[in-house]
Amino acid sequence: MRGRRWLALAALAVVALVSAGVAISDSGPKNNKTFDFTVGLWGDLPYSDVQAQTGVPNLIADMNNSDISFSVHDGDLKAGSATKNSATPTDCSNALYAQALGYFNALQQPAFFTTGDNDWTDCDRVSNGQFDELERLTYERSVLFAGPYADSSLGQKQMQVEVQSSPLCLGTTSPTGLPTFQTACVENRRWTFHKLTFATLNVQGTCNNLCGSGSATDPAPSDPSGDPSEWQARNAADIQWLKDTFAEAEAQNSAGVMIIWQADPGFDTSGYQGAPKRNPTTLAETDVPPSQDGFQQLLLTLRSQTIAYAKPVVLVHGDSHYFRIDKPLLDSKGLRIENFTRVETFGDNQAQGTNDVHWVKALVDPQSKDVFAFQPQTVSANLGTYTP
């Protein structure tokens, strides 16, 4: 009896220890089916008359009927080349930016925007009107990032933001591009919402403006090799803004960080969807000379800051027009950086139908383990006829 009693007590002790072990290993936040707020993500739109007249208005109505707290457009207000005789602005005339402002201010909640290469670096293409690219960026800043939007979002409800004041970028008001002057990178913005830190950066496709913007079918005679001076100033500002954003997140004890820019910089050697091919451990581009790699310095900063931050970090971008969520960022030893997630928004995909216009919803819970979750939002009014 005494032996049985001892065995029973020992069994109870083992159960207690196992239970305690389970309790210890199972402690900490989880990813429950709850969220604190949601964010609408979209970009690379509109690219055609039907998207401008029907697709984007339907998308905006869908966002307005959702529960988002704010939205962010990750750049490209038009296609890279203008459509001849289009009913809506598809070149880089002033009407393009006025149309965009109308879209953003049709959104009932605060709306944020970061510039895209089709908005300015590609504006020197023949079809786009052969504008000087830096003059177009300066004008875009004056419409979408100045006046009533100098320190706040767009949209019917506005949200206050921090705006980068240094280091300075370049600008010009001259149609020839000269002279240039130093000016604040007012498109780089940051805000903290419900213990999350968000920031936009001016990071562009087309080599981040380190290579020519023309193509065989739509040349840019005045821009054979990009603008290294413009890139140098803006890249230094972007890198500093990235560092400042992580410092702000640390100071605010934010649960996570979301960075939004336009370019798909490429994270590996696949060149998927036309992205740059990149050595995943050195983050050096492998398909162009080093002088045309407009992203390596920025990506190295993003990687080091993400590792040091050690909380969830999301990069949202467009450019390749392919909706995806993955973890493509590796450390210098080739190991996946687990707290980093890349989200690419839908963008224009006319192979799926000319009005294939949809968005992504970010569901955010600062108390959960991974903080961010994502849902594709197909706009019912924009769905075409699918024939299997």
Residue 147 lies in a domain: yes
13 within domain boundaries: no
Distance from C-alpha of 80 to C-alpha of 168, rounded to nearest angstrom: 27
Question: What's the confidence (pLDDT) of residue 10?
Answer: 45
User: Residue 6: what pLDDT?
Assistant: 43
User: Residue 141: its pLDDT value, please?
Assistant: 98
Distant-in-sequence contacts of 307-311, Cβ < 8 A, 24+ apart = 307/331, 307/337, 308/246, 309/246, 309/249, 309/250, 309/257, 309/339, 310/339, 311/249, 311/254, 311/255, 311/256, 311/257, 311/339, 311/371
DSSP state of 211: S
> How confident is the model at residue 386, as a pLDDT?
56
Domain residue limits at 63: 34-382
* Residuewise pLDDT in 10s, the chain (388 residues): 444 444 444 444 433 433 333 444 556 788 887 899 999 999 999 999 999 999 999 999 999 999 999 999 999 999 999 999 999 999 999 999 999 999 999 999 999 999 999 999 999 999 999 999 999 999 999 999 999 999 999 999 999 999 999 999 999 999 999 999 999 999 999 999 999 999 999 999 989 999 999 999 999 999 999 999 999 999 999 999 999 999 999 999 999 999 999 999 999 999 999 999 999 999 999 999 999 999 999 999 999 999 999 999 999 999 999 999 999 999 999 999 999 999 999 999 877 777 889 999 999 999 999 999 999 999 999 987 555 5
Q: CA of 362: how far to CAs of 36, 68, 79, 128, 359, in Å?
A: 11, 9, 25, 34, 10
Length of the chain: 388
Whether the Cβ atoms of residue 63 and residue 156 lie closer than 8 Å to each other = no
| Domain at 69, CATH number | 3.60.21.10
Burial of 355 (0-12, 13-18, 19+ CB in 10 A): buried
**Residue 316 falls inside a structural domain:** yes
In a domain, 21, yes or no: no
Q: What angle is formed at CA 145 by the lines to CA 140 and CA 150, rounded to 5 degrees?
A: 150
* Rounded CA separation 255/257 (Å): 7
pLDDT of residue 31: 83
Angstrom CA distances, 96 to 52, 113, 143, 153, stand at 11, 14, 11, 19
Interhelix angle 94-106/133-144, nearest 10 degrees: 30
pLDDT at 388: 56
> Residue 14: inside a domain, yes or no?
no
Total count of domains within the chain:
1
- Domain membership of residue 4 (yes or no) is no
Tell whether 122 is covered by a domain: yes
Q: Is 23 inside any structural domain?
A: no
